[in-house]
């Protein structure tokens, strides 16, 4: 967070109420030097709300589902 592009911004920007707000936050995240670390933090901590690492809540749920599915496939082989 110390190195995030959002560090001096209003946190409300990253907790939008609509799709336009999500896109605004994602544009900021797209230029953030710690985007990957931010996303992994949100995934590891199951952060449900807001835009983290350039992803919406729905996108993080999808990533978690894909990772779970990949782990299941690996363990089945
Ligand atoms: S990726 Fe987005 S939410 Fe995460 S630190 Fe960077 S600007 Fe902030």
pLDDT in tens, 17-67: 999 999 999 999 999 999 999 999 999 999 999 999 999 999 999 999 999
Residue nearest to atom 8 of ligand 1 (CA): 6
Q: Give dist(CA 13, CA 41) in Å, integer.
A: 19
Residue 14 Cβ contacting ligand 1 at under 6 Å: yes
Range of the domain at 19: 11-76
Query: Is residue 24 in a domain?
Result: yes
With respect to residue 55, please indicate whether it lies within any of the assigned structural domains.
yes
- The verdict on residue 46 lying in a domain is yes
Q: Is the pLDDT of residue 77 over 90?
A: no
Burial of 10 (0-12, 13-18, 19+ CB in 10 A): exposed
- Banded pLDDT at 9 (limits 50, 70, 90): very high
**Does some domain include residue 4?**
no
Q: Flag whether 32 is in a domain.
A: yes
User: Is 22 a member of any domain?
Assistant: yes
Tell whether 57 is covered by a domain: yes
* Of 46, 48, 13, nearest in space to 29 by CA: 13
Pocket probe for ligand 1: among 7, 21, 45, 54, the residue whose CB has the most ligand atoms within 8 Å is: 54
CB of 50 within 6 A of ligand 1: the answer is no
The pTM (predicted TM-score) of the whole model is 0.91
Domain total for the chain? 1
């Amino acid at each position: 967070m110390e190195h995030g592009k959002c560090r001096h911004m209003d946190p409300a920007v990253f907790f939008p109420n609509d799709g336009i707000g999500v896109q605004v936050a994602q544009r900021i995240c797209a230029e953030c030097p710690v985007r990957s670390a931010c996303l992994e933090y949100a995934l590891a901590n199951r952060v449900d709300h807001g835009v983290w690492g350039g992803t919406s809540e729905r996108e993080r749920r999808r990533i978690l589902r894909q990772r779970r599915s990949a782990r299941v496939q690996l363990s089945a082989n």
